[in-house]
Amino acid sequence: MTAAAIATRLAITPAAVRRHLDGLVAAEEAWVREESPHVRRGRGRPAKLYLLTEAGRARFGHAYDDLAVAALRHLAEYGGQEAVRAFAERRVAALVDAHRDTVRDQSGPQQRAQALASALSDEGYAATTREVGSGEQLCQHHCPVAHVAAEFPQLCEAETAAFAELLGTHVQRLATIARGDAACTTHVPVTTAGNTENAGHDMNGGAA
- Give the domains, in start order, of the chain with CATH numbers: 3-58 (1.10.10), 66-202 (3.30.1380)
Convert the pLDDT of each residue in 85-103 to its tens digit. 999 999 999 989 999 999 9
Measured CA to CA, the distance from residue 41 to residue 187 in angstroms comes to 19
Convert the pLDDT of each residue in 115-168 to its tens digit. 999 999 998 899 999 998 889 999 999 888 888 999 999 999 999 999 999 999
Percent of the chain with pLDDT over 90: 57
pLDDT of 41 over the 60 cut = no
The region of weakest confidence among 30-39, 69-78, 179-188, 199-208 is: 199-208
Q: What is the pTM of this model?
A: 0.67
Neighbours of 177 (CB within 10 A): 23
Residue 23 contacts by C-beta under 8 Å, 6 or more apart in sequence? none
Model confidence at 43, pLDDT cuts 50, 70, 90, reads low
Q: Are 191 and 134 in contact (CB under 8 A)?
A: yes
Convert the pLDDT of each residue in 12-39 to its tens digit. 998 999 999 999 999 999 999 887 655 5
Phi and psi at 32, nearest 5°, equal -130, 140
Pairing of strands 172-175, 184-189: antiparallel
Contacts 24+ apart (CB under 8 A), 108-117: 108/190, 109/136, 109/167, 109/168, 109/169, 109/188, 109/189, 109/190, 110/136, 110/188, 110/190, 112/166, 112/167, 112/168, 113/138, 113/167, 113/188, 113/190, 116/163, 116/166, 116/167
